[in-house]
Amino acid sequence: MTTLIGIDCATQPRKVGLARGRLDGELVFADECLCGGSDVDPAQIIAGWIGESDDVLLALDAPLGWASALGSSLSSHQAGAAFEVSSDLLFRRRTDDDIAARLDKRPLEVGANLISRTSVAAVALLGQIRSITGEPIPLAWSWPSSTRVSAIEVYPAATRIAHGAPAGSGSVEKLSLLRYDFDIDQLSVDARDSLVCVVAAADFVLGRASAPSLIDQEILQEGWIWASSREA
């Protein structure tokens, strides 16, 4: 059985939301949900969940790549010189444009917002999990994955919109496929967002998340937000 682990990423461990779930048909059952803290290391918690599972998909709510034009432009840029490409190309990834076109919701631009620090923290967390578990944990581009543990980038706001749920942070209302037996009102916004990450992981496993039309070098560098399209 595949374990779905939702991670609402943050720069501080106490703000990292973690949820573990599984698929039963097309229903998602979440059996654990919590936040990190001074005595709760998110990487150790996730590594423990991985160790108990046959197949694992990590769904991280944070950009895992940067706009390709930004990297190529900065490598030769000198202070005071104009850029040869537009701000949109510097700060927006192709996946950002895809989410905006399909779901009318534009993700935060990784190169132009404080989300950049969360992005750095997210890939650092992935590195810690790899170190603890000894698993390579590549990004998945299709399912089933070629490795026991893989990861994807998700965006809870897009997942909520796709499922016709309220868009506000922390909301799990109207996510009809999600099941849990704990008191949702006792969970923080970050923890509840990690539950939505689990739903996004389920969409990916079930083949409902929209893939890029072409997985080229630019997409491999920038990454991709996996979210299904809006329900009819």
Cis-peptide, bond into residue 144, ω within 30° of zero: yes
Map residue 36 onto helix, strand or coil: coil
Q: In the chain, what are the domain boundaries?
A: 2-64+94-222
Q: What is the pLDDT of residues 23-37, one digit of tens each?
A: 999 999 999 999 987
E strand or H helix at 120: helix 115-133
The count of other CB atoms within 10 Å of the CB of residue 21 is 28
CATH top class, domain 2-64+94-222: alpha beta
d(CA 217, CA 46): 30
pLDDT at residue 171 is higher than 90: no
- Report yes or no: 172 and 8 within 8 Å, Cβ to Cβ: no
Contact 7, 194 (CB under 8 A): yes
Q: Which of 158, 145, 200, 154 is nearest to 177 (CA)?
A: 200
pLDDT in tens, 125-165: 999 999 999 999 999 999 999 999 999 999 999 999 999 98
With a threshold of 0.85, does the pTM exceed it? yes
The CB density around residue 125, as the number of other CB atoms within 10 Å, is: 22
Q: What is the pLDDT of residues 90-103, one digit of tens each?
A: 889 999 999 999 99
Give the tokens for residue 214. Answer: 């072409």
